[in-house]
Amino acid sequence: MRPVIIAHRGACGHLPEHTLPAKALAYAMGADYLEQDLVATRDDELIVTHDIHLDRVTDVARRFPGRARPDGRYYARDFDLEEILTLAVHERVDGRGQQVFPQRQALGGRDFRVHSFARELELVDELRSSGGHEVGIYPEIKEPGWHRAEGVDLTRLVLDTLGQFGYVGHADPVYLQCFDEAELRRIRHELGCRLKLVQLIGEDDWSPLPTNFRGLRNKRGLEKLARTVDGIGPWVNQLYRLRKRDGRVSDSGLVARAHDQGLTVHPYTFRSDALPAGFDDIGELMRFSIEELAIDGLFTDFPDVAAQFLRQRTG
Ligand code: CA
Protein backbone atom coordinates (compact mmCIF):
# COMPACT_ATOMS: atom_id res chain seq x y z
CA MET A 1 0.00 0.00 0.00
CA ARG A 2 1.19 3.48 -0.85
CA PRO A 3 1.70 5.51 2.34
CA VAL A 4 -0.84 8.29 2.77
CA ILE A 5 0.15 11.96 2.80
CA ILE A 6 -1.33 13.88 5.72
CA ALA A 7 -1.11 17.65 5.22
CA HIS A 8 0.08 18.82 8.64
CA ARG A 9 -1.88 22.05 9.36
CA GLY A 10 -2.38 22.21 5.57
CA ALA A 11 0.48 22.93 3.19
CA CYS A 12 1.93 25.02 5.99
CA GLY A 13 5.45 24.95 4.57
CA HIS A 14 4.06 27.25 1.87
CA LEU A 15 1.14 29.22 3.38
CA PRO A 16 0.20 30.20 6.97
CA GLU A 17 -0.86 27.13 8.95
CA HIS A 18 -4.50 26.12 9.35
CA THR A 19 -5.83 28.69 6.89
CA LEU A 20 -8.27 27.67 4.16
CA PRO A 21 -5.77 28.61 1.42
CA ALA A 22 -3.21 26.28 3.05
CA LYS A 23 -5.80 23.46 3.04
CA ALA A 24 -6.87 24.02 -0.58
CA LEU A 25 -3.23 24.13 -1.66
CA ALA A 26 -2.51 20.86 0.18
CA TYR A 27 -5.41 19.22 -1.66
CA ALA A 28 -4.11 20.47 -5.00
CA MET A 29 -0.65 19.14 -4.14
CA GLY A 30 -2.04 15.65 -3.69
CA ALA A 31 -2.57 15.29 0.05
CA ASP A 32 -4.71 12.30 1.03
CA TYR A 33 -5.75 13.79 4.37
CA LEU A 34 -6.06 17.35 5.66
CA GLU A 35 -5.32 17.87 9.35
CA GLN A 36 -7.45 20.00 11.69
CA ASP A 37 -6.31 20.91 15.21
CA LEU A 38 -9.42 21.77 17.22
CA VAL A 39 -9.90 24.24 20.06
CA ALA A 40 -13.12 25.61 21.64
CA THR A 41 -14.12 29.28 21.76
CA ARG A 42 -15.96 31.09 24.60
CA ASP A 43 -19.29 30.40 22.90
CA ASP A 44 -18.46 26.68 22.53
CA GLU A 45 -17.71 26.84 18.82
CA LEU A 46 -14.84 24.86 17.31
CA ILE A 47 -12.02 26.61 15.52
CA VAL A 48 -9.13 25.14 13.58
CA THR A 49 -5.91 26.30 15.20
CA HIS A 50 -2.93 24.56 16.74
CA ASP A 51 -2.72 26.11 20.20
CA ILE A 52 -5.18 26.93 22.95
CA HIS A 53 -3.61 30.40 22.56
CA LEU A 54 -4.10 32.70 19.56
CA ASP A 55 -1.08 34.96 19.97
CA ARG A 56 1.59 33.08 17.99
CA VAL A 57 -0.30 33.02 14.70
CA THR A 58 -2.69 36.01 14.78
CA ASP A 59 -2.83 39.75 15.50
CA VAL A 60 -5.02 39.17 18.59
CA ALA A 61 -2.69 41.15 20.92
CA ARG A 62 -2.92 44.24 18.73
CA ARG A 63 -6.64 43.88 18.04
CA PHE A 64 -7.77 43.05 21.57
CA PRO A 65 -5.29 44.59 24.00
CA GLY A 66 -6.16 43.88 27.62
CA ARG A 67 -7.77 40.51 26.90
CA ALA A 68 -4.73 38.41 27.89
CA ARG A 69 -4.77 36.24 31.00
CA PRO A 70 -2.26 36.95 33.81
CA ASP A 71 0.30 34.75 32.04
CA GLY A 72 0.25 37.24 29.15
CA ARG A 73 -1.33 34.77 26.71
CA TYR A 74 -4.52 35.26 24.67
CA TYR A 75 -6.70 32.15 24.95
CA ALA A 76 -9.16 31.14 22.23
CA ARG A 77 -11.51 30.17 25.07
CA ASP A 78 -11.80 33.86 26.08
CA PHE A 79 -13.13 35.00 22.69
CA ASP A 80 -16.35 34.42 20.79
CA LEU A 81 -16.14 32.91 17.34
CA GLU A 82 -17.29 36.19 15.74
CA GLU A 83 -14.33 38.00 17.31
CA ILE A 84 -11.86 35.31 16.28
CA LEU A 85 -13.09 35.39 12.68
CA THR A 86 -11.93 39.04 12.44
CA LEU A 87 -8.30 38.19 13.25
CA ALA A 88 -5.58 38.08 10.63
CA VAL A 89 -3.33 35.01 10.57
CA HIS A 90 0.40 35.22 9.96
CA GLU A 91 3.34 32.83 9.80
CA ARG A 92 4.00 31.28 13.25
CA VAL A 93 6.29 33.22 15.60
CA ASP A 94 7.84 32.33 18.96
CA GLY A 95 7.53 34.20 22.27
CA ARG A 96 10.00 36.86 21.10
CA GLY A 97 8.16 37.46 17.85
CA GLN A 98 10.73 35.64 15.70
CA GLN A 99 9.46 33.42 12.90
CA VAL A 100 9.68 29.75 13.99
CA PHE A 101 10.61 28.62 10.46
CA PRO A 102 12.75 31.52 9.24
CA GLN A 103 13.05 30.23 5.66
CA ARG A 104 9.31 30.36 5.08
CA GLN A 105 7.65 33.36 3.46
CA ALA A 106 6.38 35.87 6.02
CA LEU A 107 2.87 35.82 4.60
CA GLY A 108 -0.07 37.20 6.51
CA GLY A 109 -2.74 39.84 6.42
CA ARG A 110 -6.39 39.85 5.58
CA ASP A 111 -6.28 36.99 3.08
CA PHE A 112 -5.46 34.61 5.90
CA ARG A 113 -8.08 34.03 8.59
CA VAL A 114 -9.00 31.64 11.37
CA HIS A 115 -12.07 29.56 10.46
CA SER A 116 -14.49 27.21 12.17
CA PHE A 117 -14.28 23.42 11.97
CA ALA A 118 -17.63 23.40 10.15
CA ARG A 119 -16.29 25.82 7.51
CA GLU A 120 -13.32 23.57 6.87
CA LEU A 121 -15.55 20.50 6.55
CA GLU A 122 -17.61 22.43 3.97
CA LEU A 123 -14.42 23.22 2.06
CA VAL A 124 -13.45 19.54 2.13
CA ASP A 125 -16.86 18.63 0.64
CA GLU A 126 -16.40 21.32 -2.03
CA LEU A 127 -12.89 20.09 -2.89
CA ARG A 128 -14.12 16.52 -3.20
CA SER A 129 -16.89 17.43 -5.59
CA SER A 130 -14.93 19.90 -7.72
CA GLY A 131 -11.37 18.62 -7.50
CA GLY A 132 -11.89 15.15 -8.85
CA HIS A 133 -10.14 13.15 -6.20
CA GLU A 134 -10.97 11.91 -2.73
CA VAL A 135 -9.55 13.50 0.40
CA GLY A 136 -9.96 12.59 4.05
CA ILE A 137 -9.78 14.57 7.26
CA TYR A 138 -7.53 14.10 10.27
CA PRO A 139 -8.93 16.12 13.23
CA GLU A 140 -7.06 16.38 16.54
CA ILE A 141 -8.73 16.95 19.89
CA LYS A 142 -6.39 19.44 21.57
CA GLU A 143 -5.89 19.24 25.33
CA PRO A 144 -9.26 17.73 26.30
CA GLY A 145 -8.37 17.88 30.01
CA TRP A 146 -7.62 21.59 29.83
CA HIS A 147 -10.89 22.21 28.02
CA ARG A 148 -12.80 20.20 30.63
CA ALA A 149 -11.31 22.40 33.38
CA GLU A 150 -12.59 25.36 31.35
CA GLY A 151 -16.09 23.91 31.47
CA VAL A 152 -16.37 22.49 27.97
CA ASP A 153 -16.42 18.91 26.68
CA LEU A 154 -14.32 19.40 23.55
CA THR A 155 -14.64 15.78 22.48
CA ARG A 156 -18.43 15.85 22.38
CA LEU A 157 -18.40 19.04 20.32
CA VAL A 158 -15.98 17.44 17.86
CA LEU A 159 -17.98 14.21 17.55
CA ASP A 160 -21.25 16.17 17.11
CA THR A 161 -19.80 18.23 14.27
CA LEU A 162 -18.26 15.16 12.62
CA GLY A 163 -21.64 13.42 12.84
CA GLN A 164 -23.41 16.39 11.23
CA PHE A 165 -21.09 16.06 8.25
CA GLY A 166 -21.63 12.32 8.00
CA TYR A 167 -18.41 11.10 9.59
CA VAL A 168 -19.66 8.27 11.78
CA GLY A 169 -18.46 4.88 10.52
CA HIS A 170 -15.16 3.07 10.73
CA ALA A 171 -14.71 3.14 6.95
CA ASP A 172 -15.38 6.88 6.63
CA PRO A 173 -12.43 8.98 5.41
CA VAL A 174 -11.35 10.25 8.81
CA TYR A 175 -8.80 9.55 11.50
CA LEU A 176 -9.45 11.16 14.88
CA GLN A 177 -6.23 11.83 16.79
CA CYS A 178 -5.31 12.80 20.35
CA PHE A 179 -2.28 12.79 22.65
CA ASP A 180 -4.46 11.91 25.66
CA GLU A 181 -4.69 8.14 26.06
CA ALA A 182 -7.51 8.23 28.63
CA GLU A 183 -9.59 10.46 26.36
CA LEU A 184 -9.18 8.03 23.46
CA ARG A 185 -10.38 5.20 25.70
CA ARG A 186 -13.39 7.33 26.64
CA ILE A 187 -14.10 8.09 22.97
CA ARG A 188 -14.03 4.42 22.00
CA HIS A 189 -15.47 2.63 25.01
CA GLU A 190 -17.74 5.18 26.75
CA LEU A 191 -18.94 7.32 23.88
CA GLY A 192 -19.03 4.36 21.48
CA CYS A 193 -17.30 6.20 18.64
CA ARG A 194 -16.63 3.95 15.63
CA LEU A 195 -14.23 6.23 13.75
CA LYS A 196 -10.61 5.26 13.22
CA LEU A 197 -8.62 6.55 16.19
CA VAL A 198 -4.95 7.45 16.42
CA GLN A 199 -2.87 7.73 19.59
CA LEU A 200 -0.29 10.47 19.20
CA ILE A 201 2.96 9.72 20.98
CA GLY A 202 5.19 12.50 22.23
CA GLU A 203 8.02 12.60 24.75
CA ASP A 204 7.34 12.66 28.47
CA ASP A 205 9.40 15.81 29.02
CA TRP A 206 7.53 17.94 26.46
CA SER A 207 4.61 19.06 28.60
CA PRO A 208 2.60 17.95 31.62
CA LEU A 209 0.22 15.71 29.65
CA PRO A 210 -1.46 12.88 31.58
CA THR A 211 -0.20 10.16 29.22
CA ASN A 212 2.93 8.10 29.90
CA PHE A 213 4.33 8.06 26.38
CA ARG A 214 7.37 5.94 27.07
CA GLY A 215 5.19 3.08 28.25
CA LEU A 216 3.18 3.15 25.01
CA ARG A 217 6.10 2.33 22.75
CA ASN A 218 6.96 -1.14 24.03
CA LYS A 219 5.16 -4.37 23.14
CA ARG A 220 2.89 -4.28 26.17
CA GLY A 221 1.91 -0.65 25.68
CA LEU A 222 1.13 -1.18 22.01
CA GLU A 223 -0.84 -4.35 22.76
CA LYS A 224 -2.98 -2.36 25.17
CA LEU A 225 -3.40 0.52 22.73
CA ALA A 226 -4.60 -1.86 20.03
CA ARG A 227 -7.73 -2.57 22.09
CA THR A 228 -8.74 1.07 21.63
CA VAL A 229 -7.10 2.70 18.63
CA ASP A 230 -6.40 1.84 15.00
CA GLY A 231 -3.03 3.48 14.76
CA ILE A 232 -0.28 5.50 16.35
CA GLY A 233 1.20 8.86 15.44
CA PRO A 234 4.73 8.79 16.86
CA TRP A 235 7.26 11.61 16.78
CA VAL A 236 9.46 10.87 13.76
CA ASN A 237 12.59 10.78 15.94
CA GLN A 238 11.13 7.75 17.77
CA LEU A 239 11.38 5.65 14.59
CA TYR A 240 15.15 5.41 14.68
CA ARG A 241 18.26 5.42 16.82
CA LEU A 242 21.16 7.73 16.08
CA ARG A 243 24.62 6.32 16.68
CA LYS A 244 26.72 9.06 18.29
CA ARG A 245 30.03 7.68 17.01
CA ASP A 246 29.37 8.07 13.28
CA GLY A 247 25.96 9.72 13.08
CA ARG A 248 24.36 6.68 11.40
CA VAL A 249 20.71 5.87 11.94
CA SER A 250 19.14 2.47 12.57
CA ASP A 251 15.58 1.23 13.02
CA SER A 252 14.25 1.59 16.58
CA GLY A 253 11.79 -1.25 15.91
CA LEU A 254 8.75 0.83 16.80
CA VAL A 255 7.05 0.54 13.39
CA ALA A 256 7.40 -3.26 13.34
CA ARG A 257 6.20 -3.57 16.95
CA ALA A 258 3.12 -1.48 16.12
CA HIS A 259 2.45 -3.47 12.94
CA ASP A 260 2.65 -6.69 14.98
CA GLN A 261 -0.35 -5.38 16.92
CA GLY A 262 -2.22 -4.45 13.74
CA LEU A 263 -1.71 -0.73 14.29
CA THR A 264 -1.06 1.68 11.43
CA VAL A 265 1.84 4.10 11.87
CA HIS A 266 1.64 7.76 10.78
CA PRO A 267 4.70 9.61 12.16
CA TYR A 268 4.99 13.41 12.43
CA THR A 269 6.39 15.78 11.16
CA PHE A 270 8.30 15.63 7.85
CA ARG A 271 9.72 19.08 7.11
CA SER A 272 12.32 19.85 4.46
CA ASP A 273 13.39 22.96 6.39
CA ALA A 274 13.67 21.33 9.84
CA LEU A 275 15.16 17.84 9.54
CA PRO A 276 15.63 15.48 12.49
CA ALA A 277 19.21 14.72 13.53
CA GLY A 278 20.94 12.13 11.35
CA PHE A 279 19.30 13.14 8.05
CA ASP A 280 20.71 15.58 5.51
CA ASP A 281 17.68 15.92 3.29
CA ILE A 282 14.00 15.12 3.27
CA GLY A 283 14.33 12.52 0.51
CA GLU A 284 16.69 10.50 2.67
CA LEU A 285 14.28 10.68 5.61
CA MET A 286 11.36 9.60 3.43
CA ARG A 287 13.32 6.78 1.82
CA PHE A 288 14.37 5.43 5.22
CA SER A 289 10.88 5.71 6.73
CA ILE A 290 8.96 4.42 3.72
CA GLU A 291 11.29 1.87 2.14
CA GLU A 292 13.04 0.48 5.21
CA LEU A 293 10.48 0.90 7.98
CA ALA A 294 7.27 0.63 5.90
CA ILE A 295 5.34 3.42 7.59
CA ASP A 296 1.68 3.68 6.52
CA GLY A 297 1.57 7.45 6.13
CA LEU A 298 3.26 10.63 7.21
CA PHE A 299 2.41 14.08 8.49
CA THR A 300 4.19 16.73 6.46
CA ASP A 301 4.29 20.51 6.10
CA PHE A 302 5.25 19.90 2.45
CA PRO A 303 2.68 17.60 0.78
CA ASP A 304 4.18 18.51 -2.62
CA VAL A 305 7.57 17.07 -1.64
CA ALA A 306 5.99 13.85 -0.33
CA ALA A 307 3.79 13.48 -3.41
CA GLN A 308 6.80 13.93 -5.70
CA PHE A 309 8.78 11.34 -3.74
CA LEU A 310 5.94 8.81 -4.04
CA ARG A 311 5.48 9.50 -7.76
CA GLN A 312 9.15 8.87 -8.46
CA ARG A 313 9.02 5.72 -6.42
CA THR A 314 6.09 4.22 -8.30
CA GLY A 315 6.86 5.77 -11.68
CA1 CA B 1 -1.89 18.32 15.27
pTM (2 d.p.):
0.97
Q: What is the pLDDT of residue 16?
A: 97
**Dihedral of CA 10/14/18/19: which sign?**
negative
Kindly indicate the confidence band of residue 108, based on its pLDDT and cuts at 50, 70 and 90: confident
Whether 45 is covered by a domain: the verdict is yes
Centre of ligand 1 to C-alpha 35, Å, is 7
Number of domains in the chain: 1
Provide the domain limits for residue 136: 4-53+114-314
User: Is 104 within the bounds of a domain?
Assistant: no
DSSP 276: P
Contact at 8 Å (CB) between 9 and 22? yes
Q: How far is the CA of 155 from the centre of ligand 1 (A)?
A: 15
Within a domain: 65: no
Q: Cα angle vertex 58, ends 56, 63, to 5°?
A: 120
142 CA from centroid of ligand 1 (Å): 8
Model confidence pLDDT, tens digit, residues 214-266: 999 999 999 999 999 999 999 999 999 999 898 899 999 999 999 999 999 99
CATH number where 29 lies:
3.20.20.190
Q: Ligand 1 center to residue 145 CA distance, Å? A: 16
Q: Do 125 and 138 form a contact (C-beta atoms < 8 A)?
A: no
Q: Would you say 9 and 50 are in contact if contact means Cβ atoms under 8 Å apart?
A: yes
User: Would 73 be classed as within a structural domain?
Assistant: no
User: Percentage of the chain with pLDDT > 70?
Assistant: 99
Q: Does residue 205 lie in a domain region? A: yes
CB atoms within 10 A of CB 107: 16
The active-site residue out of 8, 14, 90, 266 is 8
Residue 275 class from Cβ within 10 Å (0-12 exposed, 13-18 middle, 19+ buried)? middle
* Annotation marks residue 8 as catalytic: yes
Q: Is 1 exposed, middle or buried (0-12, 13-18, 19+ CB in 10 A)?
A: exposed
Whether residue 102 is predicted with pLDDT greater than 70 in this model: the reply is yes
- Please give the span between the terminal C-alpha atoms of the chain, in angstroms, as a whole number: 15
- Return the half-sphere exposure (C-beta side, CA atoms, 13 A cut-off) of residue 48: 28
Of the candidates 222, 235, 217, the residue with the CA atom closest to the CA atom of residue 276? 235
Q: Is 50 annotated in the active site?
A: yes
Residue of 14, 18, 50, 147 marked active site = 50
Taking only the tens place, the pLDDT of each residue in 145-202 is 999 999 999 999 999 999 999 999 999 999 999 999 999 999 999 999 999 999 999 9
Average of per-residue pLDDT values in the chain: 96
132 versus 39: the higher-pLDDT residue is: 39
pLDDT of residue 163: 98
Assess if residue 197 is contained within a domain: yes
* pLDDT higher than threshold 80 for residue 279: yes
Cβ atoms 47, 146 nearer than 8 A = no
